[in-house]
Chains A and B, each alone.
Chain A
């Protein structure tokens, strides 16, 4: 019997923490309703100097990178043909689908005129092919669809065994057709993030000298691309660890230890690109200026170097605790790098300043809460997590 096939965890959905998550989400929705009526000025701290705020820098730019687990695992499993990681792909795709959907939703509440968003994909004759943002927007929209299609087998598997025979047969046929198409969809699932994650970097190139030289490099697209893969591996590791903790499953230590190799390679690649670029562009002075910017840079680098160096101690790789902490540091570093590129390193001059307002923060918190709640609901009801380490307690 194929013991590592995914299974639904089962168990009660509405627990105490679950209610809290739903409560936070409800609060966020109320605030969003207020934002729709009162405008962005009343609900956020964004201004003409800092037109991109927390929602773009965190929910979209950082959030999609955190949701790159699906992308990073797809590269490993389908492109490098490492089938052994298969048990990690479905949960990774699920977080990616949720993360990207939330990011899309965040864009929708962040833009001034959300009711016109549909024109972006539809008004093809108006497309400005010079706009990196257009590419990001189109790719993210397409990728959300691709992710849910990639995840569809999980839902179809459940409904295939539905008691109604008509439904079951329709679902069965769809599932078979999907199975044949899947390689091409998975290929899209690798192509689209490659395009838009790098374009998220290109976007800030257009900010010109408003972006601090420590981040303003022609290599931004490459750094964003490598960075999102790195964060993807980190996110998958964190997710697996938390999953085994929360749902009392056996930790996937062996597999995560092997995954840490891919993560370490990506990590060193990122650090190397970053440092080489800084040195080639002659930024050593700025690197050691001792100001906010150089501090942020070294924070990024140190958070990466700790797990990067620790990796070489074999003992570290086999302990789930260390793998987890390493992944947390990596994800933090990646998140700070993106925050720096979009907010900290961005300075419009003229004494403009920005710090996210409370409603802004609560909306972000509420959306994260929604993501967690949806994840828990889906893994309990649908076959996502690998079965061999099934919940011991329901």
Chain B
């Protein structure tokens, strides 16, 4: 085997072993995130919700979203069937064999959000109180956040020529004015309440302890997808409410550990580049000789 071929193989071993994976360098904090100290959140209790949808209307109002009259056959009503660009909050009915239950869906404000990991210029970020918000000037509308969100939360304005990403931002604009999130404020049954994350978690557990016959013994969001700042209590299995995510691992962690392993400090790509450059330089010289020999033929 010629020298240059051996170094070529070396270069590719380096490529296979290290560059086999992706992304760019430099982030120091590899560790999974933990709940921010100032974290706020919401606690939704499915046993209390009567499906009145007051929160849906309040959410529209608070965010000045247009009513969603786009559902075929329901053009006279605000009747969304899914979270969408006019619906940051939705109440759904889930039927199961024994009992029906409502469930409220909105952004979960993940502790380690996949959407934040995906966003190129950090339009989506975990900002004050651990709330995941969207910042227009840094969004190019790639929609990768939609692909990766485990709860299909971010919505895109498909009908617009200058589309935004729309999602629940935990009414951060109201919080700044000292108000509660609109959905929590209007709920007649206090099925959804707002508070400090730690308090809500304690409250959730104490409700389960008080009425173990009623509740499923699980606070959804305490561990799921690495934890979410919106917590759920239920009287029916969470799968019946459409919460199919069981993994306690944050979505980004695997992908990021692969990336960081390889791109740490950009050493591997730089080394590979240097190696490739040297190999090619050498090969170019030997090729010159070979070429001139070929010309003599």
Report which of A37, A48, A51, A120 forms a contact with B120, defined as CB distance below 8 A: A120
The residue that A51 contacts in the complex, of B11, B117, B146, B291, with Cβ under 8 A, is: B146
* A132 pairs with B23, CB closer than 8 A: yes
User: How many angstroms from the CA of A3 to the CA of B279 in the assembled complex?
Assistant: 27
Complex interface: stretch among B52-60, B154-162, B188-196: B154-162
* Stretch from A12-20, A109-117, A250-258, A292-300 forming part of the interface with B: A109-117
User: Which residues A314-371 have CB closer than 8 A to chain B?
Assistant: 346, 348-350
Query: Do residues B152 and A130 form an inter-chain contact, with CB atoms below 8 A?
Result: no
A199 CB within 8 Å of chain B = yes
Judge if A175 is at the interface, Cβ distance under 8 Å.
Answer: no
Confirm or deny: B2 has a beta carbon within 8 angstroms of a beta carbon on chain A: yes
Shortest distance in angstroms between B221's beta carbon and chain A's nearest beta carbon? 16
Q: How many angstroms from the CA of A138 to the CA of B120 in the assembled complex?
A: 10
- Which residues of A, 230-256, contact B by the 8 Å Cβ criterion? none
Q: Are A134 and B158 in contact (CB under 8 A)?
A: no
Beta-carbon contact of A112 and B138 below 8 Å = no
> Which of B118, B157, B162 has the largest number of chain A CB atoms within 10 A?
B118
Which residues of A have CB within 8 Å of B244?
209, 349
Interface extent on A, as a size class? 35 or more
The answer to the question of B186 belonging to the interface, with a C-beta cut-off of 8 Å to chain A, is no
What 0/1 pattern do residues 209 to 222 of A give for CB contact below 8 A with B? 11000000011011
Q: How far is the CA of A257 from the CA of B272 in the complex (A)?
A: 30
Q: CA–CA, A113 to B295, complex, Å?
A: 54
- Asked whether any CB of chain A lies closer than 8 Å to the CB of B51, the reply is no
Q: How many A-B residue pairs have CB under 8 A?
A: 242
Give the complex CA separation of A137 and B144 in angstroms.
Answer: 12
Chain A proximity of B55: nearest CB distance (Å):
20
Do B152 and A129 touch across chains, with their CB atoms under 8 A apart?
no
A48 to B105, CA, bound (A): 15
Q: Provided the pairs A119-B140, A135-B24 are in contact, do residues A350 and B82 lie with their beta carbons within 8 angstroms?
A: yes
Q: Tell whether, in the assembled complex, residue A111 and residue B161 are in contact, meaning their CB atoms are under 8 Å apart.
A: no
B side interface size, CB within 8 A: 81
Contact between chains at A202 and B21 (CB < 8 Å): yes
Is the CB of B114 closer than 8 A to any CB of chain A? yes
Inter-chain contact A206/B283, CB cutoff 8 Å: no
Given A39-B163, A119-B140, A349-B244, verify A205-B20 contact (CB < 8 Å).
no
Task: Please name the 10 residue pairs, one residue from A and one from B, whose CB atoms are nearest each other, closest first.
Answer: A112-B141, A41-B158, A199-B22, A202-B22, A51-B143, A51-B146, A187-B276, A112-B163, A183-B280, A221-B21
Subset of 26 A-B contacts with CB under 8 Å: A38-B161, A41-B158, A48-B85, A79-B283, A80-B8, A81-B2, A112-B160, A117-B140, A123-B138, A126-B122, A129-B23, A130-B252, A131-B24, A132-B22, A132-B23, A133-B120, A182-B284, A183-B280, A184-B277, A187-B273, A191-B269, A194-B272, A199-B23, A201-B21, A208-B148, A221-B258
Binding site for B on A (CB under 8 A): 1-2, 36-42, 46-49, 51-52, 75, 78-81, 83, 110-114, 116-117, 119-120, 123, 126-138, 182-184, 186-188, 190-191, 194-196, 198-210, 218-219, 221-222, 225, 346, 348-350
Q: Could you list 8 further interchain pairs (A-B, Cβ under 8 angstroms) beyond the known A79-B8, A112-B162, A191-B269?
A: A39-B158, A126-B121, A130-B27, A131-B117, A134-B24, A194-B15, A206-B255, A210-B147
